[in-house]
Structure 1
Amino acid sequence: MTAEPDALTTDFAAEFPANEAEWRKAAEAALKGRPLEPILRRTLVDGTPVEAIAPRTPARPIVGRAPGKPWIAMTRIDLAEPSEANAQALEDLNNGASGLSFVFARPGDGSGVAADTLDRFDRALDGVLLDLVPLHLDAAPIEGRIAAAMAAALVERRGLDPDAVNILFGIDLLRDLALMGALPVSWLEIRSRFARLVSSLGERGFTSPVTMIDSRVTHDAGGGETQELAGALASATDHVRALLDNGLELDQAAGTIAFAVSVDAEQFTTIAKIRALRLLWAGWRREAGLDQGAVHIHAETSRRMMTIRDAHTNMVRTTIAAFAAGVGGADSLTVLPHTHALGRSDGNARRLARNVQSIVLEESNAHRVADPAAGAGAIEKLTDSLADRAWTLFQEIEREGGLFASLRAGAWQRRIAETREARAQNVARRKSPIVGVSEFPQRGETLPALGLGPLPQTSPAAAPQDAHPTHDVIVFEGMVAALESGASIATLRANLRPDPSAPVLALDLDRLAAPFEALRAENEARTAKGGPVFLALIGPIAKHSARAGFVRNLLTAGGLRFLDGPVAAEPEAIAAAFEESGARLAILCGSDEGYAEQAAAVVSGLKTRGSKVWLAGRPGELTEALIEAGVTRFVTAGDDALATLKEAAKAAAGGA
């Protein structure tokens, strides 16, 4: 059946304003007096301006994935027991995943696969066709060379052509320094080892990127988008210099670089960030005298944005982030399960994370258009702004001697700390609300039981040569040979003769929701120590509901119990209900008109019953009189909610 052209047209667009002036007029009317400009224009925490609308620009596609090619839908493999990790990997690959992000167990950490020998690594990847399935190695800090040696040994054991496998080896020396606060040996020596690693993998025939400049650390430490981009560019520069200083050619050194980025629910900012990273690397290569070249960008949904409370809202966050990563042009993507912040994820959470990518790929077809954001004025403008600001910051880092020198001097950490503090203030004041945590929290919520039991206890397999390898494990080829002979990661670690060097202030990684969640957990654990917060409701429901709802949400976010007083009652009845409740703190909730009529009398009655009295809102001209009557705090939007909740907890427990 063929439709006539006219049958495919609609008059849908006729319902919308035809030009910007008319649209603004309609938008202002819809806002009913609220200003439009703050909605259309804002500033990222690092100072980057963002405009919601901008004129359309000529399409300027930024070359990323081949047009129409889907990104690699990776899945995180982190179950400790190799056989369980293998079952998970095969299930994911058979149900939508096209690549694996393999997490090696960290010393003292419950997550990651205990693939500490070549046999266990082989068992974890049994049945995985490495010449068809891309692999991302996520190793413990400072142990990237060991993970690379493990992968090289497995490829050799299976008789595969190294050129036919796609392994993102994930080496980032400066990420490791920023996380650990020191290097195992001198910077000069570790650069030399890194160069030998790159050369050895090249001689074996591997062509995949060895280095993955990991801006996820800057992101999780609280940095801004400009800092993520500039730090990535500066780190890539230091890695290339390390290779050049140890005999590699420029084009070979630059070709070892890939990038890893965090993607979050700031959809348009995420799209622009990935596009800006490609622009920046293309500009770097151009300045270095190289052609544009391709670069692999791996994306992972942000750990920083994940919540423990109301964890199902994480599915919304990760879906938005996954879509933005795909539209922005990521080459590979890992979606973290929605329970990731709880420490472990069951099969259902992993299935949902896997299906997020399947839905975005198969239902939205976002990958079928090369750079869908090209020509979108607002995103193009934000892309250019991020790239310009990041390049300027990159030049500042270079003037400081490069990222290594900046880390050693503490300058890089101070930059991130300043942005982190600004971000934390936005979260505390709920200027950056977190749904399910600081806004719209669930009252009486219980955390999900994952049903996984205790973490499995695994230990390295014993081997005859395990204690003292017969190979020189300082050299990468010796490390591969030792693993092939049965040595474990623990033994290699012990025989690398670490001599801590280049101490720096390590970056502190945390989630945005952590302060609210910690406060709520603390208050819920000690709820018996204090009575509820009493809500003195002034006037009928229609008059007090807005401010009462605001206060209820606030108190729930802090894990504080509350009790509603009688509705539309006289001051004496309200005071009597307070006395019966056993509370020590009362918060008045009503309209400005209701406050003018009853607040002073209600405050007086509550004070005679020994209450500490707060009031929700800004009562304007009544403020001075209410303070004189006994109100000691006004609870308003824009306050530091964390400080307010801490004071409320203290007052509810009878503190001063």
Structure 2
Amino acid sequence: MTTEPLTSPAATAFADDFATATREDWLKAAEAALKGRPLEPVIRRRTMDGVTVNALLERVTPRVVAGRPAGGRWTAMTVIDIADPEAANAQALEDLNNGASGLSLKLAGPGETHGLVADTLDRLDRALDGVLLDLAPLHLELPAFHGRATAALVTALVERRKLDPASVFVLFGADLLRDLARTGALPRSWEAMCARLAGAIAGMRRRGFTSPVLSVDARQHHGAGATDAQELGAALGSATQQVRGLVAAGLPLETAADAVSFAFACDAEQFTTIAKLRAARLLWAAWRREAGLPEAPVHIHAETSRRMLTRRDAHTNMVRSTIAAFAAGVGGADSIVVLPFTDALGGINADARRIARNAQAIILEETNAHRVADPAAGAGAIEAYTDDLAEAGWAAFREVEAEGGFLAALANGSWQDRLMESRAAREAAVAKRSVPIVGVSEFPQADEAPIALDPRPAVEASPSRRPLAGPVGEDEAGYDALVAAALDGASLADLAAATATAPTLTVRPCDTERLAAGFERLRAENEAATPRPGVFLALLGPIARHSARAGFIRNLTVAGGLKPVDGPILGSADDVAEAFAQSGLKLAVLCGSDDGYAEEGAALAKALAARGAAVWLAGRPKEGREALEAAGVARFVAAGDDMLTTLKEASAASAGGAR
């Protein structure tokens, strides 16, 4: 095989043709590829935020996104959530030796059994034994409102190991408003909580730590149903509220702002994730300008979305998460966590951990996306989407500010109302399958083998070990006292007990929900029922005439946990009705072509109804509907319907299974 040299006349002509292609040329090529399908819905859509996404825009002049690292590897983190410190340490070392470059520690709180139990300095030290903290960055997933106490434990560990705090990078994970949205209650007054956090930041800066302490976390709002602009607005509003609180507690504005990092969920909407992370940097840069602060990089941590994960056909989560991780890397995330594909099942196994770790290694080493300063720069569609999403995010932020800030919006419930409205709209789209979920609402597996998960042995939390002499203050001296107590062996329970609580504010929590949960709950209920409800498929005509709609109904019934039972092919109305009676089912769905319905549908519906069937029909025929209804067809099922409601009604119609 020979290859034309790049300088050959043929190669030059090809390059010239490509360079001179116009928008009209691209449109013609796209229309030809669609073979008669309309082009506009393919290249243009409108998001829930009202942003118009146009996939076919001319190249624009690339620009520098402020605060974005140029051509550097992101930190590929893995989740460490094994309760036992020694077992967690073995997992951490395995991950770091096999491609991970950082660790995300999911820490269990007092009395919790899910997560790493590292509630004393000794346990934390054992969990991180052999981990070079000056080489492997950490991200902390904290128990609610334990930011200061956990930071004291980590500070004590750095001091025990005699490390330079400036050489250690830890995303400490403190976020007061995320914890309030998660739990619904503030342990002390807002002013006291901000003073407590300000004291910790001051104490850590004095020791030489430069890592972000405040991790403004939009993942809680994403999981609760937020749109992309609402996520951005929440991040900006939360950062503003907390920075104001820190300044009021005595921190300089620049110190407070420099303590901020962000955490976002990234999902399989590839271009949306890229645009969202780029927009987040634009917004924070604009915020700093408005605050009179100089430009500074901000760390963005990304985690693959829990909202998009499924319990059913969980292996499809690998595809979703790989797309999401790639998009986060291209979008400029500084650190990324890929959740194991079994995360929605409530557990993890060794294969799931390995695959999650390898996904990032493959993306980094095979795509080389990190070697480009900004792979999306200059792409007209993404640049426009980035700008429009930033505008929508800024508008969402201003709405919150007009209400008195993010804390006020949580307190009066207006923020939760916005999330519930967005969540309802998204759930409606999922129910109608205009947002399909592969393996759940589309192409479900009928006989799915369960996935074996590793056991989660409980580890008892350390009780009171070294009770502090008395309550510690909210200031820097109080933080120093917590570090000293941690070095002396105090447990997390001791540190928490030393900071008295006096709840002053309760709000409606922002509860999270996965997109697939509605279908999965219904399927689990029906599959667990005895006898299991089913649906009889009354097949009209030869296979070529009924296969499309029969396949549609089979997939739908499996998605709802109903057992599909095929009737005879090319049988008479009496034969099909007799087969239905023998099946012991109560719901029959006619499956055929519109012509077949016109010819045989009414007779078959009447025969089935005479045998006691609730009769439905697949499709929405343009002619003969009245005759079909008169013959007993009670419902027409077609694409675009609310399929979750349809399945619930089918479950009710099928209730009792055998008659």
With normalisation by structure 1, the TM-score equals 0.96
Decide whether aligned partners of structure 1 residues 466 and 267 sit closer, same or farther in structure 2, where only a CA change above 3 A counts. same
Distance across 2 between alignment mates of 1:286 and 1:213: 19
Q: How far apart are the structure 2 equivalents of 1:527 and 1:399?
A: 55
Q: CA deviation at 1:398?
A: 1.1
Residue 416 of structure 1 pairs with residue 419 of structure 2? yes
Separation in 1, partners of 2:498, 2:256 = 29
The answer to whether residue 177 in structure 2 is matched with residue 177 in structure 1 is no
Name whichever of 213-222 and 441-450 sits farther off: 441-450
8 Å CA contact 1:101, 1:138 repeated in 2: yes
- Partner SS for 1:24: helix
The answer (yes or no) to whether the contact 1:17–1:23 under 8 Å persists in 2 is no
Q: Which residue of 1 aligns with 2:116?
A: 113
State the shift of 1:26 in Å.
4.3
Matched, 1:300 2:318: no
- Write out per-residue CA displacement over residues 76-134 of structure 1, whole angstroms, 9 at most, x where no aligned residue: 11111000110011011011111111111135544210101110000000000111111
The farther-off stretch of 205-214 and 392-401 is 392-401
**Alpha-carbon distance in structure 1 between the residues aligned to 2:14 and 2:605:** 56
How many residues are paired up? 652
1:611 maps to a residue whose letter is A
Question: Structure 1 residues 382 and 88 mapped into 2: Cα distance closer, same or farther (>3 Å)?
Answer: same
Cα distance 1:51–1:109, how it changes in 2: closer, same or farther (>3 A)? Answer: farther
In the TM superposition, residue 373 of structure 1 has moved relative to its aligned partner by: 0.4
Asked if 1:283 corresponds to 2:282, the answer is no
What's the offset of the Cα at 1:236? 0.9
1:498 Cα offset (Å): 1.4
Q: Percent identity?
A: 58
- 2: CA distance, partners of 1:634 / 1:27: 35
Residue type matched to 1:627 in 2?
Answer: E
Match of 1:447 among 450, 469, 473: 450
Q: CA deviation at 1:35?
A: 2.4
Residues 64, 331 of structure 1: 8 Å contact kept: no
Aligned to 2:461: 460
Aligned pair partner of 1:310 in 309, 313, 322: 313
| Structure 2 residue aligned with 1:576 | 578
Aligned to 2:377: 374
1:608-650 deviation per Cα after TM superposition (whole angstroms, max 9, x unaligned): 1111100001111222221111100011111111111111111
Q: 1:635 and 2:637 equivalent?
A: yes
Which SS does the other structure have where 2:108 is aligned? Answer: coil
> Unaligned regions of 5+ residues in structure 1, if any?
none
Q: Which residue of 1 aligns with 2:233?
A: 230
Deviation at 1:66, TM superposition (A): 3.4
Q: Say what the alpha-carbon RMSD is for the aligned residues.
A: 2.2
Residue of structure 2 aligned with 1:484, choices 484, 487, 490: 487
Q: Distance in 1 between matches of 2:512 and 2:127?
A: 29
CA deviation map 1:456-515 (0-9, x unaligned): 22123467x534556737521111111111111122223322111211111111111111
Alignment-derived partner of residue 617 in structure 2: 615
Residue matched to 1:6: 7
TM-score, normalised by the number of residues in structure 2: 0.95
Residue 621 of structure 1 aligns to a residue whose secondary structure is coil
Instruction: Show the 5 A alignment for 1:420-439.
Output: 420-439=423-442
Q: How does 1:202-601 map to 2 (within 5 A)?
A: 202-450=205-453, 452-453=454-455, 455-461=456-462, 465-469=465-469, 472=472, 475-528=478-531, 530=533, 532-601=534-603
> 1:645 and 2:647 equivalent?
yes
Which 5+ residue runs of structure 2 have no aligned equivalent? none
Q: Which moved more, 1:119-128 or 1:230-239?
A: 230-239
Residue type at the aligned position of 2:497: A
Partner of 2:69: 66
Contact 1:196 1:476 in 2 (8 A): yes
Counterparts of 2:27 and 2:462 in 1: how far apart (Å)? 69
Check 1:476–1:373 CA distance in 2 against 1; reply closer, same or farther (3 A cut). Answer: same
Secondary structure class of the residue paired with 1:528: coil
Q: Is the 8 A contact 1:470 1:482 kept in 2?
A: no
The answer on whether the counterparts of 1:78 and 1:104 sit within 8 Å (CA) in structure 2 is yes
- Cα deviation per residue 1:160-207 (whole Å; 9 max; x = unaligned)? 111111111111111011111111101111111111111111111111
1:606 aligns with 2:613: no
How far apart are residue 291 of structure 1 and its match? 1.9
Distance 1:641 1:462, change over 3 A: closer
Could you say if the C-alpha distance between residues 68 and 27 of structure 1 is closer, same or farther in structure 2, counting changes exceeding 3 Å?
closer
**1:408 to partner: Cα distance:** 0.9
Q: CA deviation at 1:65?
A: 4.3
Q: What's the offset of the Cα at 1:30?
A: 4.1
| 1:168 counterpart letter in structure 2 | L
Q: Deviation digits for residues 126-157 of structure 1, max 9, x if unmatched? A: 00011111111111111111111111000001
